[in-house]
């Protein structure tokens, strides 16, 4: 939801979709935080209303793709149409942004071989198994990594850096 709002703020038209959902349906977001335990917490978030139909979306109509973080990618990567959409954007060298667990979808789509990718540390093994190069986030979760058309980041604290780098790939004018 936050990346969607940030992209709208800088003037982009954004459509949101989810497998099995139509425009006007909603998905429940999750709020993640680092509570001092060995992993993050996940709490119910907002009802995020979708504004397009997954089944009828045409990738040729879009300039870029944003993949969510959180636990959704674990399930989204099981949908072959999701993977086909990712492959389409990559084959056309259109910008793709993925954060947190989002690179699980990139790995499942088979587009990471020989490429560098940042992600939540627990996803490191997915990146490695897909032939990618994990960008270590141990220095902090607030940075993003760009390689070619891919912009990746480890977690929500990186939203500003991640969206800034993605927006630059889109040709957006961003003031320092």
Bridge partners of 26, per DSSP, are 49
- Mark 85-123 as b/e (b = at least 16 C-beta within 10 Å): bbebbbeeebbbbbbbbbbbbbbbbebbeebbbbbbeeb
For the segment 36-70, what is each residue's pLDDT rounded down to a tens digit? 666 667 788 889 999 999 999 999 999 999 999 98
Instruction: Give pLDDT, residue 94.
Output: 98
Helix (H, G, I), strand (E, B) or coil at 41: strand
E strands in the chain:
26-33, 41-49, 65-67, 96-99, 116-118, 133-135, 145-147, 150-153
Region 120-144 average pLDDT: 93
Domain 2-15+56-169 listed as CATH 3.40.50.880:
yes
Instruction: Give pLDDT, residue 176.
Output: 66
Round to whole Å and give the CA distance between 120 and 17: 23
Please confirm, yes or no, whether 12 is among the known catalytic residues.
no
Structure tokens that stand for 82 in this block: 């999701």
Round to whole Å and give the CA distance between 125 and 122: 7
Round to whole Å and give the CA distance between 126 and 137: 15
Of the residues 18, 100, 117, 119, which is catalytic?
A: 100
Of the residues 101, 119, 145, 159, which is catalytic?
A: 101
Which position has the higher pLDDT, 114 or 45? 114
Domain range list for the chain:
2-15+56-169
Please confirm, yes or no, whether 14 is among the known catalytic residues.
no
């Amino acid at each position: 939801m936050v990346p969607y709002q940030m992209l709208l703020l800088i003037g982009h038209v954004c459509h949101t979709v989810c497998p099995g959902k139509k425009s006007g349906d909603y998905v429940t977001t999750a709020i993640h935080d680092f509570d001092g335990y060995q992993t993050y917490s996940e709490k119910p978030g907002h009802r995020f209303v979708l504004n397009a139909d997954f089944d009828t979306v045409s990738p040729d109509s879009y300039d870029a793709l944003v993949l969510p973080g959180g636990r959704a990618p674990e399930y989204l990567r099981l949908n072959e149409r999701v993977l086909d959409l990712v492959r389409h954007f990559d084959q056309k060298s259109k910008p793709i942004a993925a954060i947190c667990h989002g690179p699980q979808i990139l790995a499942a789509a088979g587009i990471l071989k020989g490429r560098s990718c940042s992600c939540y540390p627990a996803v490191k093994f997915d990146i490695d198994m897909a032939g990618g190069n994990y960008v270590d986030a141990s220095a902090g979760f607030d940075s993003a990594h760009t390689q070619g058309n891919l912009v990746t980041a480890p977690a929500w604290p990186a939203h500003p850096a991640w969206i800034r780098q993605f927006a630059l790939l889109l040709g957006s004018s961003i003031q320092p």
